[in-house]
Copies of this chain bind each other. A is one copy, B any other.
Amino acid sequence: MSDKINRVVLAYSGGLDTSVILKWLQQEYQCEVVTFTADLGQGEELEPVRRKAERAGVKPEHIFIDDLREEFVRDFVFPMMRANAQYEGLYLLGTSIARPLIAKRQIEIARQVGADAVSHGATGKGNDQVRFELGYYALNPDIKVIAPWREWDLTSRTRLIEFAEQHQIEVARDKRGEAPFSTDANLLHTSSEGKVLEDPWDEVPDYVYSRTVNPEDAPDAPETITVDFERGDGVALNGEALSPAALLTALNELGRKHGIGRLDLVENRFVGMKSRGMYETPGGTIYQLAHRGIEQITLDRGAAHLKDELMPRYAELIYNGFWFAPEREMLQAAIDHSQAKVTGTVRLKLYKGNVIVTGRRSPHSLYSEKVVTFEDDQGAYDQRDAAGFIKLNALRLRLLGRRDG
């Protein structure tokens, strides 16, 4: 808390925590605060944020409110989905994938306004601090980083609210008490953790869910949709061309309605502890299964299996905050190379929490009915070839068997 800071770009939501941070930065560092608020599809009005920042003394030209939804889906979510990334087998990385974009934009703004520091509101126990700061340092190795939650003495809710009241920071009535859990939201997902979720034996209470209906309350009739892909990315829903963000938005609406994409998970954080979270990824869940569906007929086995083997590492890198690391980029290069012909249409049925791929077709299909058929294949495949194939695959096992048998 020592180096002289002149100007700091704060990732600012306008909520209680980052409002307190804004004030604390001004006070503690005697520096000018620049606010940056991103629309990543979290579903909140952002214009009120401008007024709050102004009231806190931020210069109008230092208030940045950017709609990043298209960039988010096009340059972050979709590339990640090309990998079918799932952390620890289940989690679609909705929070992880948003952090590098926020970090990138903060560093751009810092350059633009001549700031020497950046700041965020992530706590000292979580992954987000790592993701933000690895992004900052990768993109500007000399930037100063202020992480108030690791520095200040506002270590309890009571003290935070006292500070807010002392400094005329508006505290929404429902924020006075302890929130029963904490959330993060963007176009890909909403995550919830903490408090009422802390015992992994306790069922997640109904009121924690916000993005999806309970499957039990979803429509009794299934709904069938199609998703079109081009070169590995979704481009249309039910035949209608949509931009990346528009497609994900539409899938979110479908997922919400049919109770799709809920996940109750105990996961391993990069900082070394286990945590329990609840995720809702309605559209992303549909999208990833659709993507797997189109890959099934357009990807060669060698490419598909290599992708499957690389995926856990790739997902771990994103989870741990290494989006801007060379090894993530190398894996992306490999993955992207595989997607050139991942083009076609997948049909899915949505029903009370289920996403069921019921058909896939492609102008670049590698599926050959002629070869695989149970009927006469007219010489497309000579069954006698299998004998030699098996014999040579078995040779080393036979040599082993002779030795060890």
Contact = CB atoms under 8 A, between A and B. Distances in A.
Interface of A: 84, 88-90, 123-125, 129-130, 133-134, 137-142, 147, 149-150, 155-156, 182, 194-195, 198-204, 215-216, 220, 222, 262, 264-268, 271-276, 292, 296-297, 300-309, 311-313, 316, 322, 324-331, 333-338, 341, 347, 351-354, 356-361, 364-369, 371-374, 376, 381-405
Contact of A388 (B156, B267, B386): B386
21 contacts: A130-B389, A137-B398, A139-B405, A141-B401, A147-B386, A195-B374, A200-B361, A267-B296, A273-B371, A276-B367, A300-B399, A306-B330, A308-B312, A309-B312, A353-B353, A366-B399, A371-B395, A371-B399, A388-B388, A388-B391, A389-B389
How many copies of this chain?
4
Contact of A264 (B137, B150, B357, B398): B357
A141 B387 contact: no
A365 B199 CA distance: 11
A357 B202 CA distance: 11
Nearest to A136: B394
A84 B200 CA distance: 21
Contacts of A149: 383
A96 B367 CA distance: 21
Contact of A308 (B88, B204, B262, B329): B88
B274 A201 contact: no
A394 B142 CA distance: 11
Nearest to A393: B134
Given A134-B397, A360-B200, A330 B337 contact: yes
Among A202, A390, A394, the one with the most B-chain Cβ atoms within 10 Å of its Cβ is: A390
Contacts of A203: 347, 358-359
